[in-house]
Structure 1
Amino acid sequence: MKPLVATFAITPSLQSYFNELRKQHFPAERNYIDAHLTLFHALPDQPRIMADLETLANEQPAFDVTAESVISLGNGTAFKIASPDLPALHQKLQKGWFEFLTNQDRQKRNFHVTIQNKVEPQVAKKLQAELASDFKPFTFAIQGIQLWRYHNGPWEFLMQFDFHDRV
């Protein structure tokens, strides 16, 4: 069975913004998924995953995160995303699922949204300079968790676990 990918569901207008940047700057032949903020890269397809995410979503209010800066990925460009809630939520799930996580998913996450990858370093540096020239940090909401099935490249959307509204 193909692994599952967990990403955060974000404010729709910001999702569109990141997707548009990705469409403009990601090599077209490799750009077969939308921009995303990854929570876990390779989860097993087990009922426990869905049950735990459902429970979490029922307890978790939506929360804000900040795109703090434009960062280099070497051969790409991303926005660094920060919030105390991101690592706390990741670590909470990580503890419960540790025995079946990949080494990559057992690591501390550096949360980011990739808008360019697999390009020559000088192409990436040019975009980073362009974006950084008038960059101002901006805030958007994390509204839930999306679950996808990985198909050796493309992802298939499975479901979304919506966080409850803030009080």
Structure 2
Amino acid sequence: MRRRHFPPERNVIPAHLTLFHHLAPDLAAELRQRLSAETRRIAPPPASIAGLIELGRGVAYRIDSPALAAIRARLADAFAPMLTPQDRAGWRPHVTIQNKVAPVEARALREALAEDFRPRPIVIAGLACWWYRDGPWEPLSRHMFG
């Protein structure tokens, strides 16, 4: 869905849920350790695509997962003093399927998707950490559930 509707020149990382928008690079080792602890030998958290979200210039699937929210809360507690205001402001779990388009185009996609939308399960395979390098994204680590 994301490949079909996301502007290709901006679609540089796969579909994902953002837990945090910015953590300081000097936290990388601790973050990897905590992500490993949250995923190692643990089943994927139950989750569902629960609805659609209008983003103004895009559309996203709203994700419902109390277990993933609990993981995010534990990580937020651990890094609380270092969180940006955006990451302290609360979490709205979603997977963006379209962004950076004209509002009329986004509205049309949301309306088309809403016509036959039904909540459905989604698998959260793991947690990953990416480093934004003023243009390119660099994967730092992946931590798969199970």
TM over 0.5: yes
- Counterpart pick for 1:160 among 134, 142, 145: 142
Question: Does 2:10 match 1:25?
Answer: no
Per the TM alignment, residue 56 of structure 1 is displaced from its structure 2 partner at its CA by 2.0
Partner of 1:36: 16
TM score, norm. by length of structure 1: 0.79
SS at match of 1:119: coil
Where do 5+ consecutive residues of structure 1 fail to align? 1-20
Count residues with an aligned counterpart. Answer: 144
Per the TM alignment, residue 141 of structure 1 is displaced from its structure 2 partner at its CA by 1.8
- CA distance, structure 1, for counterparts of residue 50 and residue 12 of structure 2: 26
Where do 5+ consecutive residues of structure 2 fail to align? none
- CA distance, structure 1, for counterparts of residue 135 and residue 97 of structure 2: 16
- CA distance, structure 1, for counterparts of residue 122 and residue 72 of structure 2: 18
- CA distance, structure 2, for counterparts of residue 26 and residue 50 of structure 1: 29
Per the TM alignment, residue 59 of structure 1 is displaced from its structure 2 partner at its CA by 6.5
More strand by share: 1
Runs of 4+ in 1 over 6 A off after TM superposition: none
- CA distance, structure 2, for counterparts of residue 149 and residue 103 of structure 1: 19
Question: Does 2:66 match 1:81?
Answer: no
Which stretch has the larger CA shift, 100-109 or 25-34?
Answer: 25-34
TM score, norm. by length of structure 2: 0.89
Q: Deviations over 1:1-21 (max 9, x none)?
A: xxxxxxxxxxxxxxxxxxxx2
Per the TM alignment, residue 133 of structure 1 is displaced from its structure 2 partner at its CA by 0.7
Q: What's the RMSD between the two structures over aligned residues?
A: 1.6
